[in-house]
Amino acid sequence: MQYRCVASSPEGLVQQVAVSYLRHGYWFYVSGRLKPGTDLEALDRKLIDKYGIAVSERERTSRKRCGLANMQYIRFEDWFLLLATEGHHPFKQAERKVIRDCRRVPIRFEGYSISYRRSGLTPKGGGNPKWHACVRIDNPTCKQLKAFFLDRACHRSVENLAIDFARVPYARYAPIRRQLLSILKAVNEARARTAYQPLPHSVLRLRRQIVQPFAEVPTDLPSLPEVA
């Protein structure tokens, strides 16, 4: 098997980061867009080799016990993300001025905001609070969406607005479902003021679809490690 790093879609990248990486402690990150004309496959190989990313599960476990950080790398088209766990690593020295912690500064990608947060629930018995990955539509994008729908709320039929809601592309994680329900509520309040028919909740697609996170990979990339 190969080290898979090329995401099949924005939803695939978000799913892999939120579901597989953040929950295993990959909180420190550097992200960015590559210059036009960059040889993407050559860059993938360079970063994977430079930071020793393609290692086995056994080696990741050993590094963790020794206080060393592990890393993951993922890319969609010209946008890349390098993630690291707690511990010592040359990556942290090389990129110390630009590394961010997603527990404090969310990862922003294609209108998504991806962070790692404390749960609002208090564990039974007074234990330590639990943490979880949080995927939202980022604030500027959410405001634009709300403005878009409110502008059409009283000028479009239920059928046309349903089509508009169906076109909202973001994967339906729980925070995104709440954001969309809030927008729908605002739209119905605006329609109620002009005695227009309200939109039913069925116009929203609320079930999150599981996607294949990775695209096909070249056969000459390093081996795929298990996430630790």
pLDDT at 124: 63
Sign of CA dihedral 17, 21, 27, 30: negative
Tokens 């969609």 locate to 76
Report the predicted TM-score, pTM, of the whole model to 2 decimal places.
Answer: 0.88
Residue 217 pLDDT > 70: no
pLDDT at 130: 85
The domain locations on the chain are 10-111, 139-169+172-203
- Residues with Cβ within 8 Å of 202's Cβ and at least 6 positions away in sequence, in order, are none
pLDDT bucket at 224, cuts 50 / 70 / 90: very low
Pairing status of strand 112-118 against strand 71-76: unpaired
Distance (Å, whole) CA 145 – CA 136: 13
Q: Could you report the per-residue pLDDT of 8-60, keeping only the tens digit for each?
A: 999 999 999 999 999 999 999 999 999 999 999 999 999 999 999 999 999 99
Q: Could you report the per-residue pLDDT of 134-177, keeping only the tens digit for each?
A: 999 999 999 999 999 999 999 999 999 999 999 999 999 999 99
Residue 121 pLDDT > 70: no
